[in-house]
């Protein structure tokens, strides 16, 4: 609704890379791209969701997702989540190793390392 109580329609665009991950726009970018696509394809029915394909430079009515599409999308997201979790675990371990090494070096330099039982006879 605008200030007068009249309804105002806003169109938005969403972009995906070839792996299906969302590409983030700068502020206002989604609306700007939607306006550009509407200008380039005035014959399209913009009351229905549209899909623009860069490879073919075509706009088509987006079909509803089937159960198979949803399962495929969920599987891709689960794989991506697993990869991100592995990256996070690696970085946490690396951070721990670096922190431990720094703490050990600081303690060693200050003479605080207890070497009882570590040094040979």
What the block records as the tokens of 36 is 């550009």
Backbone phi, then psi, for 98, in 5-degree steps? -65, -40
Of the listed ranges 84-88, 105-109, 115-119, the one predicted with least confidence: 115-119
Q: What is the pLDDT of residues 12-22, one digit of tens each?
A: 788 888 888 88
Instruction: Name residues whose C-beta falls within 8 Å of residue 60's C-beta, 6 or more positions apart in sequence.
Output: 50, 51, 53
What the block records as the tokens of 14 is 């969403």
Q: What is the pLDDT of residues 51-103, one digit of tens each?
A: 888 888 888 887 777 888 889 889 999 999 999 999 999 999 988 888 887 77
Instruction: Name residues whose C-beta falls within 8 Å of residue 73's C-beta, 6 or more positions apart in sequence.
Output: 20, 65
């Amino acid at each position: 609704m605008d200030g007068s109580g009249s309804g105002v329609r806003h169109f938005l665009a969403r972009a995906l890379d070839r792996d299906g991950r969302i590409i983030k726009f700068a502020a206002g970018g989604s609306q700007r791209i939607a306006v550009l696509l509407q200008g380039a394809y005035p014959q399209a029915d913009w009351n229905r969701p549209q899909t623009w394909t860069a490879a073919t430079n075509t706009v088509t009515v987006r079909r509803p997702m089937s159960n198979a599409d949803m399962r495929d999308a969920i599987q891709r997201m689960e794989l991506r989540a697993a990869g991100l979790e592995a990256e996070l675990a690696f970085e946490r371990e690396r951070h721990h190793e670096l922190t431990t090494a720094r703490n050990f070096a600081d303690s060693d330099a200050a003479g605080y390392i207890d070497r009882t039982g570590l040094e040979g006879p």
